[in-house]
Structure 1
Amino acid sequence: MTRVVFLLVPGVHLLDLAGPAQVFSSAADLVGGYSLEYVGDSESVPSHQGVPLGATTELPELDVRDLVFVPGWRSPKIAGTGPLSARALAWLKQHHAGGGTVASVCAGADVLGRAGLLDGRRCTTHHELQDELERRYPHARVVRDVLFVEDDRVVTSAGIASGIDLALNLVAARHGPATAAAIARTMVVYARRNGDDQQASVLLRHRSHVNETVHRIQDVIESRLTDRLSLAELAVAAGCSERTVTRLFGKATGMTPLRYQQALRVERAEHLIGQGATVETAARNVGFEDARMLRRLRSR
């Protein structure tokens, strides 16, 4: 039996906790052999969303098969947040020293840092906290804009939903990718992402503007990803001229509509390849006539 122990910090984000917990709960249903436990410095731990969480203050004795997760908490800045006792930090460090695996989601990386587990290791956290984590732990090697990083049984993730990706990866390492994929399907997860995937998708990176005309154009491109779209068609959908489409789209996103469609296609193709598709099959499925264009775009 593998115990997955969640170390709860006041102000914990519910999804930082619930995502990995659901993965291992589903693993227990599918393959068995997992139990979930929740520990903290007090028996009632407030979440940032207002739901009080029950925990035990007794820190269990663990073996090398067990996992300890530290979910993140609300933290525009890390300093002065996430209070945790020296006793809990020593317990966390002892588990790793004994051969166990420790993991964090978002600001939870700071707890691993306080326990001395980030020094000399690669790690990551939410993109808004990376600079501060680097300043607080100058001997750590902070990897930017990735979903999760594993280094010598210290596993850190970007935050919020990336905790699901991290947990699925740990399940895949223990039980194989088919089991992880089955759990992802059970959870209705759209895609099981790799650790080096960027924290923000192409869609999210170019949807932060406020131009409604460009949003309408993007809606058309995304809904017809595999189609050849002319500027004339996009202009009709946007209710403006072709020249205006090009000007507004470039100003809002920094690229042309064609480049945006290509970027979406490449990202989707990368996902298909990661799921086992050949480059040729992935290229056809996302709208390229053959794999040559996909290879050229990937090489960029």
Structure 2
Amino acid sequence: MTIHVAFLLTPNLHLLDLAGPAQVFSTANDLGRGYRLSYVAETETILTAQGIPVQAQVRWPDLGADDLVIVPGWSWSRPRRGPTIGPETAQRLRRHHANGGTVASVCSGADALGTAGLLDGRQFTTHHDLAGELAAHYPQAKLVRDVLYVTDDRVTTSAGIASGIDLAMHLVAGNDGPEVAARVAREMVVYARRNGHELQESVILRHRGHLSDLSHRVQDLIDERYADRLLLSDLARQVGVSERTLTRVFVAATGLTPLRYQQLLRLEKAEHLIGHGTTVEAAARTVGFEDARMLRRLRSRSEKPAEG
């Protein structure tokens, strides 16, 4: 069976929002699966946010219940100047979903689904920088923060830009099975096929927004050997400072001690393994814990709701 994947393009389109998912379905075709790709828009030429024009067709293809419409994201302007898609396009999205079809969005593309009324009463996600704004625009929708993608009643929304690849992998896995999605990931040299509940920002990125060269060098050491037993004295020696200086500078830059940073990194790696079927005990050993008790304690702490 051939599944038609129609990409709805909008002005200021982000290239990776389009190219990432398109590459996933194209690679699946190379592996013998059946996807037909087309590109529709309200005008024949769309200028992307990166300055490259792309061509689209203004006439929509005939779509059935097994087919898919994906809305890639665009460069978001503040304040929002109104809907990016017109009433006729919004109606086409509603009609496709009402006829049993699936609709999906990447990043700010969720705004188009909101304009079409497809987020009302449903869970959705988007780029973490846009989450609050879109939640305010669509109060009847249920925002899920800081996840890669969410599916609710054939409406699938994903986080920012590169997460469109994860979204497309998820859709391929749903149609063709996880083995095919894994083969696509290998062909695309994707590091890992991530589950939807995984965080948008990794521990590595979340604690790298500082200007301390010393802390960056220590983080490089921990990132490379997070599963090893790393002594504070060894880290301090490798970067040429005292243990006291290392701790003071690292905490000021990241808000964490080196040990706590390593623990969070191990926890994130373990959660990824568990999400893909590894037992807690095996995941604990793989990421460097001597047994699963410490991992269970860390997971329990991370699951507690924040106060206030």
TM-score tier by shorter-chain length is: over 0.9
d(CA) in 2 for partners of 1:143, 1:226 = 31
Superposition deviation, residue 50 in structure 1: 1.0
Aligned to 2:88: 87
Equivalent residue letter for 1:217: V
1:68 match:
69
After TM superposition, list the pairs within 5 Å mapping 1:8-47 onto structure 2: 8-47=9-48
Q: How far 1:245 sits from its partner (Å)?
A: 1.0
* d(CA) in 2 for partners of 1:172, 1:274: 15
Distance 1:76 1:203 in 2: 28
Cα deviation, residue 81, structure 1: 6.2
CA distance in 2, matches of 1:109, 1:292: 40
TM-score, normalised on structure 2?
A: 0.94
Number of aligned pairs?
300
What is the deviation of 1:273? 2.1
Q: For residue 99 of structure 1, give the secondary structure of its aligned residue in structure 2.
A: coil
Normalised TM-score (structure 1): 0.97
1:191 is displaced (CA, Å) by 1.3
* Post-superposition CA distance 1:52-108 (Å, at most 9, x none): 111000012210110000000001437126632222111111000111000000110
Q: Does 2:203 correspond to 1:212?
A: no
For 1:140 and 1:182, how far apart are their aligned partners in 2? 35
Distance 1:105 1:250, change over 3 A: same
Q: Distance in 2 between matches of 1:77 and 1:237?
A: 45
Corresponding residue number in structure 2 for 1:236: 237
Match of 1:123, as an amino acid?
A: F
Match of 1:7 in 2: 8
Contact 2:198 2:272 in 1 (8 A): no
* Paired residue secondary structure (2:38): strand
Bigger shift: residues 281-290 or 207-216: 281-290
SS of 2:104's partner is strand
Q: Say yes or no: does 1:188 pair with 2:192.
A: no
Gapped regions of structure 2 (runs ≥ 5) = 302-308
Does structure 1 conserve the Cα–Cα contact (< 8 Å) formed by 2:83 and 2:115? no
Over the aligned positions, Cα root-mean-square deviation in angstroms equals: 1.3
Are residues 1:100 and 2:101 paired?
Answer: yes
> Which SS does the other structure have where 1:53 is aligned?
strand
Counterpart for residue 123 of structure 2: 122
Query: Residue 73 of structure 1 contacts residue 82 of structure 1 at CA under 8 Å; is this kept in 2?
Result: no
Q: For 1:33, give the aligned amino acid.
A: G
> 1:210: how far off?
0.8
State the one-letter code of the partner of 1:252: A
Give the superposition deviation at 1:159: 1.5
User: Helix, strand or coil for the counterpart of 2:156?
Assistant: strand
How far, CA to CA, are the matches of 1:174 and 1:83 in structure 2? 30
- % identity of equivalent residues: 61
Structure 2 distance, partners of 1:7, 1:246, is: 50
Amino acid at match of 1:136: H
